[in-house]
Structure 1
Amino acid sequence: MKKNVNPTSELNTAVGVIFHLADGTIQSCNAEVEALLGYTVEQLVGTSAFDPPWQTIHEDGSIFLPETYPAIFSLRTGRVCSDVVMGFYKPSGELVWLSIDTLPLFKADNTQAYGVEVTFRDITQNIEAQITRQNSSQKTSPTQVKRLLTDFLPGIIYVYDVIAEHNTYINDQTYNILGYTVSEISQLGENFVAQVMHPEDLARFPAHLSRLRNSQREEVYNFEYRMRHKNGEWRWFNSQDKVHTRLPDGSIHQILGVAQEIHNRKQIEEHLSQSEERLKLATVAGRLGMWFWDLTTDCLEWTEQCKALFGLNPDTEMSYEVFLNALYPEDRERADAAVQEALETKTEYKIEYRTVWSDGSIHWILAQGRGFYNPESRPVRMIGIAQDITERINNQKALEQREEELRLITEAIPQQIWTALPNGETDYFNQRWQDYTGLTVEQANNRGWEYMIHPDDLADVKEMWHRCLTTGCNYNLKTRLRRADGEFEWFLVRARPLRNQRGEVVRWYGTNTNINQIKELEAKLQQQTEDLIQANQLKDEFLAIVSHELRTPLNPILGWSQLLSAGRLKPERYAQGVGIIQRNAKLQANLIDDLLDVSRILRGKLKLKTKPLNLETIVRSALTTVQLSANSKSIEIVTSFEPNIGQVSGDASRLQQIVWNLVSNAIKFTPEGGQVTVSLKGVGTQALIQVIDTGKGIEPEFLPYVFERFRQAESSRTRKFGGLGLGLAIVRHLTELHGGTVAADSLGENRGATFSVRLPLINTPTVRQFEDEQSNKTIELNPLNGLRVLIVDDDVDSLDLLTLVLEQDGAKVTAVESAKAARSAFNESTPDLIISDIGMPEVDGYTLINQIRALPQGKNIPAIALTAYAGEVDKQRSIDAGYQQHIPKPINLTELISVVTIIMQKNRCT
Structure 2
Amino acid sequence: MEFTASNDFFNAIFNSIANGLIVLRPLYNQEKTEDFLVLFCNTKTQEYLKIEECKDQHFTKVFNKYDSFVLVEKFSEILAKKSDPVFEISFQIDEKQHWFRFTAESNNDLLIVTLEDINQYKEKQFTLKEALSVAEKQERFYNSITNTTPDLVYVLDLSYKFTYANKALLTMWGKTAQDSVGKGLRENGYEEWHAVMHEREIDEVVSTKKMIRGTVSFPHAELGRRVYDYIFAPVFNKEGEVEAIAGTTRDITDIKYAEEQQFLAKRKIEESESRLKSMIHQTPSATLVLMGSDLVIEQINTQMLSLIGRGEEIIGMPLIDVLPELKGQYVWTQVQNVYNKGIPFDQSEVLVQHNRTGEMRDYYYNLAYRPFIENGKITGMIQVAVDVTGQVSARKKMEESENRFRALVNASSDFVFRLNADWTVLRSLESGGTYSETGEPVLDWISSYIHPDDREMALHLISEAINNKTIFELEHRVLKTDDSVAWAFSRVVPILNDDSEVIEWFGAASDITSQKEVQQIIEESAENFKQLADLVPQIIWTSRADGFADYFNKRWYEYTKFRENEFGDSSWAPVLHPDDVSLVKENWYKSIESGNPYQLEFRLRNGETGEYRWFLSKAVPIKDASGTIMKWFGTCTDIHEQKSVTEKLEILVSERTRELQRSNEDLQQFAHVASHDLKEPVRKIKTFISRLEDNLEGKLDESAKKFIDRIHVASDRMFNMIEGVLTYSKINADQQIPTMVDLNEVLKNIETDLEVSLQKTGGQIYYDNLPVIEGAQVLLYQLFYNLINNSIKFAKEGIPIQIKLSSQIIEKDKKTAIITVEDNGIGFEENQAGRIFETFTRLNSKDTYEGTGLGLSLCKKIVERHSGTITASGNPSVGAVFTITLPLKQEENNI
TM-score w.r.t. length of structure 2:
0.25
> Which has the larger share of strand?
2
Q: Which structure has the higher relative contact order (CA within 8 Å, separation 6+)? A: 1
Larger radius of gyration: 2
